[in-house]
């Protein structure tokens, strides 16, 4: 009986993981990776891919211009503001916010304190820390973690487009 339960659990686990492996196999090999830890400031992402994050207190603005190209963005937390800015763009502000946008093209801006963000995507972004003694860290493509910058730094996630002339 215990062996049968193990087999069923293993089959269920495989069934859950197969879609993730299939999706990973279709992602472009030129995606970039951004990791932000306990940051105070502003992070912007304009990209196609996966973005998962949280913050202690922040404003999250997500524009999802094509709701059919990936999962709908999900935002949870204790809000003191939730406002639809357009048909595709919403802003949330509050505490203990958790958010994710998986698989499609989105424009996301997170501004606040205690921001944690993991991104695997292709596009561009920026980081801009608050001028405080410790305002968190960020790293790009597995590089060394750096303190959030006092001035905005723009970057590419993945391979930048080629210039034609």
Residue of 137 and 22 predicted with greater confidence: 137
Q: Based on the structure, what is the number of domains in the chain?
A: 1
Flag whether 94 is in a domain. yes
**Average pLDDT score over residue span 61-90:** 94
Q: Are 120 and 49 in contact (CB under 8 A)?
A: yes
Flag whether 163 is in a domain. no
Its pTM surpasses 0.75: yes
Q: How many CB atoms lie within 10 A of CB 91?
A: 17
73 pLDDT higher than 60: yes
**pLDDT value, residue 47:** 97
Flag whether 61 is in a domain. yes
CB burial of residue 21 (10 Å; 0-12, 13-18, 19+) = exposed
Work out the pLDDT band at 76, boundaries 50, 70, 90: very high
Flag whether 9 is in a domain. no
pLDDT tens digits for range 13-32 = 344 433 443 444 444 568 99
What is the residue range of 94's domain? 29-157
Flag whether 71 is in a domain. yes
- 5 sits in which H/E element: helix 2-26
Flag whether 149 is in a domain. yes
């Amino acid at each position: 009986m215990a062996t049968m339960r193990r087999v069923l659990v293993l089959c269920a686990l495989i069934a859950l993981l197969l879609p993730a492996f299939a999706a990973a196999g279709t992602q472009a090999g030129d995606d970039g990776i951004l990791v932000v830890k306990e940051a105070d400031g502003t992070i912007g992402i304009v990209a196609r891919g996966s973005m998962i994050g949280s913050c202690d207190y922040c404003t999250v603005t997500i524009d999802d211009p094509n709701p059919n190209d990936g999962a709908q963005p999900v935002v949870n937390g204790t809000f003191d503001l939730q406002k639809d800015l357009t048909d595709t763009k919403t802003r949330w502000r509050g505490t203990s916010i958790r958010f994710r946008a998986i698989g499609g093209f989105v424009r996301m801006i997170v501004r606040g304190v205690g921001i944690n963000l993991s991104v695997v995507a292709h596009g561009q972004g920026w980081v801009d820390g608050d001028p405080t003694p410790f305002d968190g860290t960020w790293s790009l493509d597995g590089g060394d973690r750096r303190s959030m910058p006092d001035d905005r730094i723009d970057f590419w996630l993945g391979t930048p487009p080629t210039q034609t002339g």
